[in-house]
């Protein structure tokens, strides 16, 4: 079974990892080095950001 291309850009994941404070682990060990909880927090934050963006678009 092949790996699927992620929906989130690497740039967005990196920015969120920096915001959440574990980007140094990503730099040292790659994405496989982060905890499952941290991966879940990336997804959670990305969803929050998308919801905020959608809410702002609906206001305008």
Residues with Cβ within 8 Å of residue 52, at least 6 apart in sequence: none
Does residue 46 register a pLDDT over 90?
yes
Domain carrying residue 28: 10-59
Tens digit of pLDDT for each residue in 20-35? Answer: 999 999 999 999 999 9
pLDDT of res. 20: 97
For Cα atoms 41, 2, 50, give the angle at the middle one, nearest 5 degrees.
30
pTM exceeding the 0.85 threshold for the entire prediction: no
pLDDT of res. 1: 46
Tally of structural domains, the chain: 1
Q: Which two tokens stand for residue 9?
A: 């850009």
**Averaged pLDDT for residues 1-24:** 86
- SS3 assignment, position 21: coil
**Averaged pLDDT for residues 45-57:** 94
| Position 2 in a domain | no
Q: Which two tokens stand for residue 48?
A: 């929050």
Does residue 56 register a pLDDT over 50?
yes
């Amino acid at each position: 079974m092949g790996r699927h291309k992620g929906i989130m850009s690497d740039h967005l994941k990196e920015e969120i990892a920096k915001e959440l404070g574990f980007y140094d682990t990503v730099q040292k060990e790659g994405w496989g080095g982060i905890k499952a909880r941290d991966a879940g927090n990336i997804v959670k934050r990305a969803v929050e950001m998308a919801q905020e963006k959608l809410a702002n678009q609906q206001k305008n």
